[in-house]
Structure 1
């Protein structure tokens, strides 16, 4: 099993490497850091690629691979390596490498422009999220788990639909394999309306009914897992906005949040729906987006 890390040279943040090693330590996988450098253009038909550019690209690639290998050396308990490849597009090259190596997970960081401790979807990551056929994990900027730590709890963003139920069984199997707790998370947003007291009371009843439906669905899922010998808990994120709702849920070291792709997208790949995208933007822990 291989976890592929998209590694960008000359960046201060090595959060993707740290997250990949934490994952690999949890499931005895190997980590491969891949740097993509630009591929030269042919000057005329049948001619050689510009030698100076090729030399520069090779030097950049070798330096980046050496830099990644040096940072991976900080995790001696994880089998790791670093390589560089050329490509016209960084996301396309990473996806090609993932397919060639049959990687089970792609891990990326949040860049260096976003807020510390939060997830930022860069333009390259956005393209991966719309094209990958394997799960993509995103580390918050500056993410640095404790030395030797593993994933201890997986929180699944739970919708009561067929796709999420299938994902539920898959995540439960992984949690059982790595010895992590499983928690179901459903977001229940309460609309704020400037209305009369009578209408407001009606909105309260509607929200209470929503919470009852969420509780029933979560209870059914927990009982379903119990029938398979898997213990799980459930939590409801409540609030009038996505930031408020996600902030109402406790997360700690060793937590990972899992979200599924949009159920409306016709292709079997990663495509963020609006809910998943909002969870991503407001998460303070690593997120795995699953096709």
Structure 2
């Protein structure tokens, strides 16, 4: 990262509640990072009509005017959220897939982060993955941050901490350092979290179940110590192990600050430097009670700009 003012945040906006949630979170990120902010609205391109290459000019004009109106609303709202006019731009982009369209805009503007809201069907305070998120979480060129449903109505005054959901694997060092760079840009303390999953009914079936869990927790703590060592040299990193019968139950035991952000890794099968949501990360996204940052699998430095 070359400095706090070098980061550019791209926020995907639609004129509905999920768009408001995305704007509220993006404004907090931009304020914490001193970042430039681009609000983008992806609208459908027209279908060809009356022969190859011909489209209805009136329909094209209507689609573009609707996009411009949405972006005017987004810009007004961001100004209300104290985003300086000189650091704010808007972009209307035609594409049949809203997530893929946002990925194209991210490449064009050099965004280091894409912020979107939850699909509207989700529970309040949780994240549901709709088509936009699904497209971004399976091929975004930049990290993706998702706001829970209803975030705008109860947004904190500021971001307070970055908790990193950590599990040991061969290529974890890159995403871990990316998360640390995000924490540095946002000025947030870090916490490393490992989830130890207990099969349902384990204690009833095995007398030695307590010992098994103790060993798992001890190994998790050792893994967290090693992970903290990757980050070395900075402020002390809090470490926490949570136990539950599933990811949702384990996460439910973890105290979260009002301004918490939870980071998780892409699947280890992901292409380098692209986001690709795996099974465990997907469960974390859906169970988290706070915004979630999904990091790309990367071998080197973070691509936060």
**Given the two structures, how large is their TM-score scaled by the length of structure 2?**
0.87
Contact 2:106 2:141 in 1 (8 A): no
Q: Find 2:77's aligned residue among 58, 71, 77.
A: 71
**Given the two structures, how large is their TM-score scaled by the length of structure 1?**
0.91
Does 2:216 align with 1:206?
Answer: no
Contact 2:98 2:132 in 1 (8 A): yes
Shift in alpha-carbon separation, 1:285–1:56, aligned structure 2, 3 A: same
Does 2:285 align with 1:275?
Answer: no
Unmatched segments (≥5 aa) in structure 1: none
C-alpha deviation, 1:267, in angstroms: 5.3
Q: Deviations over 1:186-208 (max 9, x none)?
A: 0001112378x6x5123332222
Q: How do 1:134-173 and structure 2 match up within 5 A?
A: 134-144=142-152, 145-147=155-157, 149=158, 151-173=159-181
Does 2:104 align with 1:96?
Answer: yes
Report what 1:121 is aligned to: 129
Q: Find 1:237's aligned residue among 235, 242, 267.
A: 242
C-alpha deviation, 1:69, in angstroms: 1.3
C-alpha deviation, 1:265, in angstroms: 3.3
Structure number with bigger Rg: 1
Aligned pairs, number: 286
Q: How do 1:44-63 and structure 2 match up within 5 A?
A: 44-45=50-51, 47-63=53-69
Q: Deviations over 1:117-171 (max 9, x none)?
A: 1111112211110011210110001113234x2x221101111223222222232
- The ranges of structure 1 where at least 4 consecutive aligned residues each deviate by more than 6 angstroms after the TM superposition are none
Q: Deviations over 1:203-260 (max 9, x none)?
A: 33222211110011112333443x4133201111211122211010000122111101
Contact 1:187 1:245 in 2 (8 A): yes
Matches of 1:255 and 1:56, distance apart in 2: 40
Does 2:91 align with 1:83?
Answer: yes
Secondary structure, aligned partner of 1:201: coil
Cα RMSD of the aligned pairs, angstroms, is 2.0
Matches of 1:137 and 1:174, distance apart in 2: 11
Matches of 1:229 and 1:68, distance apart in 2: 37
Matches of 1:242 and 1:47, distance apart in 2: 50
